Amino acid sequence: MVRALLLSLMILLVGARARNPATGHQQLNLVPESQEIQMGQQAAKEVAQSIGLYKDAKVESYVADLGNKLKGVVGGVRKTALAQSSR
């Protein structure tokens, strides 16, 4: 019984491994990407409601440029995550 349980757990853990698109390394993935994006969107709403957003075209341009530079350094970043973070 214990062996069967351990074997089932090992199969689940191996099946939950996925390649991280930013690093290229295998990692344990317990939350699907779609749920991570949804969680990020919810957190962004909560931050905007609690502390507000800083609206300044120069600052927004600077941050966007910085983000594009970082995107060039970190290979394999998913476009969906970048699109969601720019909202």
pLDDT (0 to 100) of residue 81: 53
| Domain residue spans of the chain | 1-30, 33-87
Contact predicate 17/27, CB 8 Å: yes
Contact predicate 24/76, CB 8 Å: yes
pLDDT (0 to 100) of residue 38: 95
**Beta-carbon count within 10 A of 51 CB:** 8
Cβ partners under 8 Å of residue 10, min gap 6: none
pLDDT (0 to 100) of residue 56: 93
pLDDT tens digits along 6-54:
666 666 555 567 777 777 787 877 788 889 899 999 999 999 999 988 8
Cβ partners under 8 Å of residue 51, min gap 6: none
Distance CA 55, CA 63 (A): 12
